[in-house]
Structure 1
Amino acid sequence: MKARGGELGWLTWPPKQGETSGVSRFYAYSICNVGEREQDNWLRTTFIQRHPSVSRVFVELQFIVRDCNSFDGASLICKETFNLYSSEADADVGTTFHKVQFKKVTTIAPDERTNKNEMHINTETKVVENLSQKGFYLAFQDIGACVALLSVRVYYKTCPATTKSLALFPETVAGGEGQGLKEVTGRCIDNAESVDLPRIYCTMDGEWVVPVGQCQCNPGYEEVEDSCEECQPGFFKAEGTSGKCEPCPANTQSHNSGATYCPCKDGFFRAVTDPITGPCSGLPSAPRDLKATTSSLSPGKLLLSWQPPEDTGGRTDINYSVDCQHCGCNEGSSCQPCGKKIRYDPPNMLLTDTKVSVSELDPFCNYTFTVEVHSGVSMFAKQAKASTFRPPSSDNKPDVPTFVVLNLEKNSVQIDNLSPGTAYRVKVQALGSDGSQGVSSLEEQFETLSEGQLNKTAVIIAGVVAGGVMVFILTVIYCLHRRKRDTHTRQGPEDTYFSSPEQLKPLKTYVDPHTYEDPNVAVLKFATEIHPSHITKQKVIGAGEFGEVYKGILKAPGKKEVAVAVKTLKPGYTEKQRQDFLSEASIMGQFSHQNIIRLEGVVTKFKHAMIVTEFMENGALDRYLRDHDGEFSSHQLVGMLRGIAAGMKYLSEMSYVHRDLAARNILVNTSLECKVSDFGLSRVLEDDPEGTYTTSGGKIPIRWTAPEAIAYRKFTSASDVWSFGIVMWEVMAFGERPYWDMSNHEVMKAINEAFRLPAPMDCPSAVYQLMLQCWLQDRSKRPRFGDIVSLLDKLLRSPDSLKTIADFDPRVSIRLPSTSGSDGSPFRSVSEWLESIKMSQYSENFTRAGVITMDQVLQMKNEDIKNIGVRLPGHLKRIAYSILGLKDQTSTLSVFAV
């Protein structure tokens, strides 16, 4: 009404009830029948058209309500509130008004009431949800208040059109309460592309969150703010990446803008195997000082040698070839190629050395040797230098021995058809796949037997062979007889490997110790009793639910000393606490697997009960990874996960559910072998493989627990698979806390809205995809532990499969703090900032380097961080990404998209 300067033509009911007033362009709808009982006055808006995408609108009201105490004698029937109603329609119904068509939205009450002396204007905003028809009406009901309606503003929220990561996202209407986040697909800006279309989410409050995917500038373009601009002349960009244009490399040029590569300058070339982004190189010059050396002791043989070219053209792949021609060997004959008549050592092609031995040369011949130099670009021209050599003449040709060369792909050979009583010399030399030659062995001489010796040897060999055949036959008969006899007596794990398929026995099934009427019987059945005198407690290494945990030594009679962990029961325990304490031993005693913590025994027959297990030197996995952040490769981390998965596969095959699988409950020894421990929350499945265990209460580790287990307290091996996915995330994130500082309520809400933890930094894509499979909402679709072990084995056998890294956004994935402390003020010091990202051990390094203000921190680059002494890759990345987050100042998110 204020904007129009007059009334809006809204409908009142009963007609003429209430009034419109306008004083100095200050208009209002008002009613004030406080002295009359049973008031039911309505004010209805005109038809409000709905945007097709809008299902939720906000109604902002400005109004005045008179204090009932300011009316003499009317306070008993006076009201101080009025009601807001709404009604949907597909067409304007004009002045037709039916109260029953309206549904109540809310009651409006003032924060401040107007009295005789001063006026107070109230502002309230209410939400009308689930709109679906072409339009709607709003109505205001008065039931006996003195109220003036000054302004009604009806609006909806949108996420504004924006450009993020080189992608354009259109203006999007925010969703309603039931819709949560709206996924919006964007398009790449001009001169940019993306394999997968980028996506982003629009919140109910009109804010963009969680961008997924990124566009990258096309080849020949680089990112400049929110656009892709052509590379300038003299620069190029070969691939569609987020990188900048690079200067043209050596011996190349680019006169045009938008170059994807720089062509070679005249006289310079690239080899076929050279990258298009690399420099160009010239041709090598000719080899120098070709010489031929002969020896009178070796007629028919010479040594060719030369010097490398003065100019290699800037290349390192230099090699040589030697060509030969002979002239004048026969009267009147012309010069001809030497062919295979002569021998080279090493072979005359692809020489990397500057010398070669040539043999089996004939006297009375003139030989011309040509040495050519080659490189990766020598196909474009040749450079050669030749020298002529004639071997010394001889009246008698030398006695040239016969050579036989065998090319083999194995390390043994049998040479047949040798002459009896003849000396042979043998030399072995390795050859590369490219024809390169290795070092030769020493030449060894062997002599074949004479014909008489051969006959005698044949008789001896025949006798030995006959005797060997007889011994073999007797051995087979004995083994078959023994196997038949042992069929009925052999027992133990070998049966499953030697029996036929129909004889295979099922895996042992876990027995719940709680099914025993006397829990002490279960302990004696599944655990070995140890005398306390055999245990020496050394130092406290932790505290369990029931008491302290010690490192100790177990020295059983007749056995070696072994390091053990000793769990104790604190004084003042009840009998139930003692039974619960020992029930873990009853569980552990049933397991025997290299990736399950091994129970050494228990102490139950003395006052102080104890559980003794193998000692794991490196302690809990989560703390160990945090202490060694960034020190292990992806291959090592996947190896740890494989061990955990193997242990869980064993448990699941025994129909056993752990219920508390987390990195804190995995122990690590000195060889980085991981073992599942802590069976305090564990329970057994029924015989039905799909059976579940329903708890009667107790705490559930929300961050590690599957949604169906949280909602219905039902646990299966599939819920353990979900937990294993969280353990995978913990391991790849070096012990980071899952979901960071989100509350348990926020975690449950995020999971139910289909959000999942993002990929940790440097996490292989294949590993993250397996995590997502473990976190499928439908538990029947999650992989089984056997499948997980098989997949991890494949990844470990193919290290290249771990090189592809999953997408990582530092602003989302490591919950970086902003430049504000917990109280909202800027960080007061560098040390306070380092403490917030758990890197306070480097405070002195920053101080020594003179970095004492946050402004100086924001100017640091990776090289600066290295120079002050941050060497561990994980720490370097954490500090660098934190600085990136400080610069970016984007809002930290509390939930994340798949």
Structure 2
Amino acid sequence: WEELSGRDVNGNTIRYHQVCNVDEEEQDNWVRSPFIDARSAQRVYMDIEFSVMKCEECRETFALYYYQSSADIATSTFPPWRENPYTKIDTLAAGERFDSSTVGAEGINRKTLVISPLSRRGFYVAAQDQGACMSLMSLKLYYYYCPETTHNLAYFSRTLSGGEVASLVAQSGKCVSNSVYSNNEVPKYRCNSYGEWRVPTGSCHCRAGYQPNEELTTCQGCSVGSYKPENGNIQCQACPAHSLTRSVGADHCSCVDGYYRADGDSIHQACSRTPSQPKNITFTLNKTSVSMNWMEPVITGERSDIFYRFNCRSCPSTIQPSPSNLHHLTTTNAQLNNLKPYSHYSIKVVGIDSIFSILPFTPLSSNPLLHPAFFLFSLLLSSSSSYYSTSQSTLILSSHLLLLLLLPPLSILPLPSSNISSTLVSTFIINIVSRTSSPSTDLPLPMECHPASGETPCFSVVSGLTKGSKYIAKVRVRNGMGYGKFSNDLYVATSSAKGRCYISTAGLNPAVIGGVMGVIAIVIIVIIVLFVKRRQANKKKRQDVQASKKLAENTNLLKSKFLNVQGRTYVDYRDPHNGVKEIATELDQTKIKIECVIGRGRWCLTVCRGKLISGKTSIPVAVKRLKEGASLIDHTNFLREACTMAQFDHPNIIQLKGVVTKSIPAMIITEFMENGSLDKFLQVVNELTASRLLEMLRGIASGMNYLSSIKYIHRDLAARNILVSSDLVCKVSDFGLSRTLENDPQATYTTQGGKIALRWTAPECIRFRQFTSASDVWSYGIVMWEVMSYGEKPYWDMSNEVVTEVLEDGYRLPAPENCPVSIHNLMLKCWSYEAKRRPHPIEIIRTLDQFIKQPNLLLDTK
């Protein structure tokens, strides 16, 4: 090699290396670069420019190598000038060669190569020429990295790309200032091999008092006059009425002076004032009670929860709870009962809301109230009726007894302005009238009773009554102001035997008796109605039970009919040797003609195309056969697959024609599918209509629904295990050996329980090996993606470890090009993390039928 100076296509002076020793035999010309610091890169790209001369004796290719090293240790003899210990990058051929007529850039070749994986500090690049006449004009080395960035309020530092073409290097993010992790999940971003951030998971939320900017790169404090009460990425909002903030970054607004919030009020609620005084308070006296009415305050404080309190000065404990003497009212009226006679009261009404600010009291007028006789009446409403009855001819009258039955109360007397308690003495006047004879002078005269005090009952004894007679007693009160009215009649009688008196009910008010009888009648009617309803309910319950039993019988009958149509529930034969004899058709090996090998599984299995001869006719078949030397385990698994297929009968499940077990080699003969596996078929055709693709998917779903109905779990549903007939009917195949016959090391994933096709397998199967019909639905979603992408490999060149990680982080395959949004949404439902949220095969079939019948639902594409 020679180092020369020259000019590039732009006329700039360059240095380049050239070799052209075509006259020498067995050439081996090497040139090596200085030590190149990899700067921690695992994958380095190289743009090379070279030219090769046209000549008959010249070679048209040369080779590039690299050698990794932790330091600059190369010498003229080390590393040795041979392929090993160097690692070959590529053999380069010239697409354009130059001669004497070539001008400018016409003879320059440009290539981009990859040096990977790198695991040491640096490397050397070497070129080996073995007879070409060529020049190395430019060698540009570079690597990709994802620059530092902020995404979803999380900062991600500069990250180097991985060593593989499909590598996704996960980088954990840090929440920006004034933000926190969302759901305590550390955000992650993944750097691909071309320095592009991909597959973000997790995010950060701005703290209370801060809002995100439009780009979600920073959290900015809420401006004065606005607030945000909790963590999240919502915007700040203006303070409610009559509240404000005094600094940036507030999580709540404080009430302005004179306005308040109650303890239970939301911070989003406007602050409110205390209400003004109630208006136009009026009252009405009615004997021993007072009724009050007022109007709402003019100023309500902008609240709807106003209520009222009133304070009664000097009110006894029988009127209000002590010691507060406060009432809580939501109406604008109130009534006080049981007031003392000869007393002055000062009542004040207050308007209150939930902030508990009390306004000045509004007093009512002080006025004398009620006559003392009404006080006695009021007290006797709670008395016992055991004070009456004495001897044959004497009736002891107690004012308490008589006043207990005197309804309505006695009338009110005017109250003098002098000292009432010391100048007035109440006197009870008692009149007795006979009911059994006309009035005569023989009747007892009116009597007076003088109570010792206002709290002491007054007793009077009436003598001269006749045995077995009925009387009417009346009472009225007299004081210094005059007489009050008589009370209502009290009916009493003397005993004819022992002279005891009793109260007669003959004088009771007919309306009262009618009311009592009416209440009794209503109670009896209610009891009868409840009894009838209960009997009807019991009758309906018995009818419902009978209907349920009949429905269950019908359901069992329908289920039985369904099973008869669909076939019996799948049976897993423990001994497949006996199972094959019971349910599979044994064929004569001489009736099977093998034409050619169309596929291979493991070393013990081949798949052939052949013909099954029956008389003068023959039909094409596919033949799986075991090679000589297969182990007992292989032979048992082979027969188990035959036992499985023999139990299936559905147009979208591959049909078993028969087996050969009595001669060697053992064979499984199935119908022949002209178009082979679905994935290879799609990669070749690549031009089917969306309607045709949906019909193929519907056939697969129909087959899966059949398998689910007989309780069979496939475990390895994938496009490679779907076979396509000449009329594009898809049929599910591979029942038993499919999980061990996959040759692609990237398609299977070895776990403690064996190998699984990880890219098609649900997360719960990977973690816990829990295979169900729902996990088959997940796999069906991957098949949908394969079909809509025309056989592209799921997750492309991602490693199994990366696929597992991103699935757990919530990543799902994006929609293939030109895939309708509705179809991709159905895929996403199949890929629900929780198995119970995935659709049943019946639901998938119905959805696909709807898409097929209404193509307008497929107009939106991604």
Give the alignment's TM-score, normalised by structure 2: 0.49
Computing the radius of gyration over CA atoms, which structure comes out larger, 1 or 2?
2
Give the alignment's TM-score, normalised by structure 1: 0.47
